[in-house]
Amino acid sequence: MEKLNVKQIIELLSREYGRSEWRPNYDPLGTLVQTILSQNTSDRNSHRAFASLNASFPTWEALLEADTREIAAAIRSGGLAEIKAARIRQTLNEVRQKRGQLELDFLNELPVPEAREWLKQLPGVGTKTANCVLVFAQGRPALPVDTHIFRVSKRVGLVDSKASIEEAHRILEEIVPPEDAYQFHVLTIEHGRRTCKARRPRCTECVLGKLCPLS
DNA sequence: GCCCAGGTGGGTA
DNA sequence: TACCCACATGGG
């Protein structure tokens, strides 16, 4: 079967779902907290938890004065509250200890690989979460591979079907042009959500058409 | 009531 | 290194 390349996939998917341009939010620390809340959690629940967290703690300093139980209570609706409360608290604490203040704007001065490794030293921050911060807050060419991207990338043959999630990160960052990282991320997740469901054996009504290996 | 949303880290072989 | 599992809530 003929394989799709990255440009073709982006073209087909953006024709179907439309392009959403990246908008800078210049808030890497807020993005980091939001991304920790989104780990293994639906968007609806994680957004609700983030709003509740902001309502309970107007500043990161205020959050650091609270204990983990109070933070967990604020993010209860997001699921995995005890785990995430500890991760958020420890992460903010480490940022303040390492940087002397609660901000991550300095990451913009580092090359992507170094910025990513710095973030991954924080508790609860893996490759996916680190890349989310870099691409969403700063527009850097980092490619977070979530469960949808992992699945779709294997199905369309961009990465080997036996690849690990870490290998998928490495391979996709190699083959997705830096300027397309954001589009590829957003569109592939949308596609994964709509069509290539985890337990659906065939990809129905797939916009990749005859080139989709599952259609 | 069950399935689905959907990363990280710790443990084991 | 590779795999397995705990973690918890809310919507359909």
We report the CATH number of the domain holding residue A103 as: 1.10.340.30
> Which distant-in-sequence residues (6+ apart) come within 8 Å of A42 by Cβ?
none
Pair (A95, A147) in one structural domain: no
Nucleotide nearest to A119 (CA to C1'): B8
Distance, Å, A65 CA → B1 C1': 40
Determine if strand C comes within 7 Å of the CB of A40. Answer: yes
Which of A110, A138, A166 is the endpoint of a domain?
A138
> How far is it, in rounded angstroms, from Cα A22 to Cα A29?
18
Q: Are A34 and A52 in contact (CB under 8 A)?
A: no
Q: What is the CATH number of the domain that holds A194?
A: 1.10.1670.10
Beta strands in chain A (DSSP E): none
Pair (A15, A86) in one structural domain: no
> Which distant-in-sequence residues (6+ apart) come within 8 Å of A23 by Cβ?
none
Which residue is the nearest neighbor of B8, CA to C1'?
A124
Task: List the single range of A62-71, A123-132, A200-209 with lowest mean pLDDT.
Answer: A200-209
* Torsion of Cα atoms, A169 then A30 then A36 then A168, to 10°: 0
Which of A73, A107, A138 is the endpoint of a domain?
A138
pLDDT-based confidence at residue A214 (cuts at 50, 70, 90): very low
Determine if strand C comes within 7 Å of the CB of A45. Answer: yes
What is the span of the domain harbouring residue A77?
Answer: 28-138
Pair (A147, A128) in one structural domain: no
Strand C positions within 7 A of protein Cβ atoms: 2-3, 7-11
Considering the entire predicted model, what is its pTM?
0.92
Q: Are A30 and A38 in contact (CB under 8 A)?
A: no
Answer yes or no: is A1 within a domain: no
C-alpha separations of A183 from A6, A65, A158, A200 in Å: 11, 38, 16, 25
pLDDT in tens, A172-183: 999 999 999 999
Backbone angles phi, psi at A144, to 5 degrees: -70, 125
Pair (A106, A75) in one structural domain: yes
Pair (A125, A42) in one structural domain: yes
Pair (A66, A124) in one structural domain: yes
pLDDT score, position A215? 44
Pair (A118, A147) in one structural domain: no
Which residue is the nearest neighbor of C1, CA to C1'?
A164
Pair (A122, A147) in one structural domain: no
Which of A106, A138, A170 is the endpoint of a domain?
A138
**How many domains, in total, are found in chain A?**
2
Residue A196 scores a pLDDT above 70: no
pLDDT in tens, A108-133: 999 999 999 999 999 999 999 999 99
> How far is it, in rounded angstroms, from Cα A202 to Cα A168?
22
